[in-house]
């Protein structure tokens, strides 16, 4: 089965670019980030990536790097910047469950106004074309029609749509946009009504903590009428909390839903419930042949 992905632009989506100091652009066109010492993550990026990864999405970077066509550097320079970002994103050498948070990094070194062969041309990989996404879908087993595209430029969104990502699943971030940054975009994805099956209800009197609820989307399906199932769901929730170091302040469970108050911010709480949903769905499918929370649909 092909997997859903979140395709991500790089510069000014994952890492700072427009606000870098002048030293970043010595010998290159402004915006062509080819110096790894200037690889700086934007605020909230790692938290957003962890939440999306925990929710089951494959994370893939697609980035135009026309600086190579302009003679500002080589593919080694691009990879050096990517390596620096990977190290910052994965912390002490590990991602979620020991995996890299971002599974694929693709870049297009082409530019029609370049001077370095063979990159001095337009190319199907260069955004707004969708070639990088198509390649990622083929190589990584991804389904563009269930995936998302996030970037700070319209060409990022256009590339997604060109490769088959639904227009409703393209999100532009940055100043003047409805979503300020990657964290806001991730929250939009994780709270999509047709996808997560989870709801967030702010309770400011509980500090620190976020209240989240996971319930069946089918009114005729009572997934936890069975006591064994309820016990399993609670055990999985507490197990996830123990593994991740998250404190559960409150936990309530009945035949239709589980509701918890956990000591993390809103996005982290959504990631927690997404993981709970995925793990318990798999258990229920193995034992009873149906998903627990959303009949007939995986995350």
193 vs 284: which has the higher pLDDT? 284
Among 132, 157, 190, residue at a domain's last position: 190
pLDDT at 155: 98
* Number of domains into which the chain is organized: 2
Average pLDDT, the chain: 86
Instruction: Determine the Cα–Cα distance for residues 127 and 149; give it in Å rounded to an integer.
Output: 12
| 156 is annotated as an active-site residue | no
Instruction: Provide mean pLDDT across the span 177-197.
Output: 77
Active-site option among 11, 12, 162, 181: 11
Q: Is 212 in the same domain as 102?
A: no
Is there a contact between 104 and 136 (Cβ–Cβ < 8 Å)? Answer: yes
| 11 is annotated as an active-site residue | yes
Q: Is 167 in the same domain as 61?
A: yes
Residue 131 lies in a domain: yes
**DSSP assignment letter at 73:** -
pLDDT at 296: 33
* Model confidence pLDDT, tens digit, residues 131-152: 999 999 999 999 999 999 999 9
Q: Taking each helix axis from N to C terminus, what angle separates 75-89 and 45-54, rounded to the nearest 10 degrees?
A: 80
Q: Name the residue among 153, 174, 147 with its Cα closest to residue 43.
A: 174
Instruction: Determine the Cα–Cα distance for residues 30 and 33; give it in Å rounded to an integer.
Output: 8
Q: Which domain holds residue 279?
A: 198-288
* Model confidence pLDDT, tens digit, residues 34-87: 999 999 999 889 889 988 988 889 999 999 999 999 999 999 999 999 999 999
Q: Is 173 in the same domain as 241?
A: no
Q: Which residues pair with 257 in a beta bridge?
A: 215
Q: Is 146 in the same domain as 245?
A: no
281 vs 167: which has the higher pLDDT? 167
CATH of the domain at 211: 3.30.70.1290
Q: Is 158 in the same domain as 116?
A: yes
Q: Hey, how many other C-beta atoms are within 10 angstroms of the C-beta on 184? A: 17
Q: Is 132 in the same domain as 256?
A: no
How far, in whole angstroms, is CA 32 from its chain's centroid? 24
For strands 198-201 and 170-172, give the pairing.
Answer: unpaired
Q: Is 167 in the same domain as 219?
A: no
Is there a contact between 95 and 42 (Cβ–Cβ < 8 Å)? Answer: no
């Amino acid at each position: 089965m092909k997997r859903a992905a979140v395709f991500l632009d790089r510069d000014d989506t994952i890492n700072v670019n427009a606000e870098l100091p002048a030293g970043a652009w010595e010998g290159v066109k402004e915006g062509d980030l080819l110096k790894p010492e200037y690889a700086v993550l934007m605020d909230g990026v790692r938290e957003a990536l962890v939440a999306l990864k925990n929710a089951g999405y494959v994370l893939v970077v697609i980035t135009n790097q026309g600086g190579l066509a302009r003679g500002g550097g080589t593919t080694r320079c691009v990879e050096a910047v990517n390596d620096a970002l990977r190290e910052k994103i994965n912390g002490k050498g590990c991602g979620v469950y020991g995996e890299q948070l971002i599974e694929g990094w693709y870049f297009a070194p082409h530019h029609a106004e370049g001077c370095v062969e063979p990159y001095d041309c337009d190319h199907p990989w260069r955004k707004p074309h969708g070639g990088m996404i198509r390649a990622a879908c083929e190589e990584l087993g991804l389904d563009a029609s269930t995936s998302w595209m996030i970037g700070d430029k319209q060409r990022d969104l256009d590339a997604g749509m060109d490769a088959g990502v639904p227009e409703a699943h393209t999100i532009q971030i940055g100043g003047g946009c409805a979503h300020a940054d990657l964290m806001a975009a991730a929250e939009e994805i994780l709270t999509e009504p047709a996808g997560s099956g989870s709801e967030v209800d702010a309770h400011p009197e509980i500090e620190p903590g976020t209240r989240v609820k996971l319930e069946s989307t089918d009114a005729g399906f009572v997934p936890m009428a069975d006591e064994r199932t309820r016990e399993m769901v609670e055990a999985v929730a507490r197990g996830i909390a123990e593994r991740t170091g998250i404190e559960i302040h409150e936990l309530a469970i009945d035949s239709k839903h589980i509701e918890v108050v956990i000591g993390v911010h809103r996005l982290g709480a959504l990631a927690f419930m997404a993981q709970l949903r995925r793990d318990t769905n798999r258990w229920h499918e193995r034992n009873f042949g149906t998903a627990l929370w959303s009949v007939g649909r995986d995350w």
